[in-house]
Amino acid sequence: MTAAADARCIPRALVTGSNDGIGAAVAHALVGEGYEVVRHARNRVRADDYLSDAPEGTQIAVGDFASLAETHDVARQAAALGPFDVVVHNAGTGAPPARELTADGIERTLQVNAVAPYLLTALMPPPERIVYVGSDSIRNTLLDLDDIQSGADWDQGAAYGRSKIALTALGLYVARHWPSRLVNVVHPGWVRSKMSGEAAPLSLEEGADTIVWLALARDPEALVSGELFFERAPARFNDQPHDPGIQEAVVAAFEQLTGVVLPKDPRPQPQR
């Protein structure tokens, strides 16, 4: 049992973007395994809609990841509801047809899909395990480190893929720099959801499977760090995010965009 669980006797997880879709399936599976799960919704309306049918005592953090201020607030809410044994960074968005900047002056897709997980990772007490939900869309594009916000060359599909390259690079960077934690990235597959549509072949539960496995399994294959997984096996869709130099550059860009520096390895190493 982890230090976090020792204090409560029940392990606890945070799953972002978990009022519906894959995030909801992950949260449901973790609850079924005995976890207390703190959920996350983008706004109060979504949170209240979820809570109207949720069991009494369900806890939910609220905040829009297209806002740095609201992401800071989600980190504060989550820290008050923790500590956590597992954090699953699932919240994400598709890219719009035309490039959009948030009120923070950051390209919206990049901010929601990659900058917000960076901020949460940097601001929250580190859990034992971290899972970032990526995508195989990274196989179709490359990240321009001199134009990380896609200002010069906007393409809707490429922008989404670039944001997931940045997220994958972040996850692998955290794994390298936090060796006391288990940190991995997961491509869930083409899952039937609001983002992917009903033509997708996989159910939400099938998409959640590898995420949940990495979050709680004691299998030797799951007790690794610094991998991109698909269907419970390491995968490699694009060499870029696996390059330590790319990882360093992405994190340096996020530090500059947010003004927040990722802490050093949060030792001591917890019991796994």
Provide DSSP, the chain: --HHHHHHSS-EEEESS-SSHHHHHHHHHHHHTT-EEEEEESSHHHHHHHHTTSPTT--EEE--TT-HHHHHHHHHHHHHH---SEEEE----PPPSS--B-TTSSBHHHIIIIIHHHHHHHHSPP-SEEEEE--GGGGG----GGGTT-SSS--HHHHHHHHHHHHHHHHHHHHHH-TTSEEEEE---SB-BTTTBTT-SB-HHHHHHHHHHHHH--STTTS--S-EEETTEE--S-SGGG-HHHHHHHHHHHHHHHS-PPP---PSPPP-
Let me know if 264 is a catalytic residue.
no
Task: Give the whole-angstrom CA distance, residue 74 versus residue 93.
Answer: 17
Q: Which of 38, 62, 61, 160 is nearest to 111 (CA)?
A: 160
Residue from 35, 118, 132, 164 carrying the catalytic annotation: 164
Residue from 160, 173, 194, 264 carrying the catalytic annotation: 160
Catalytic residues: 160, 164
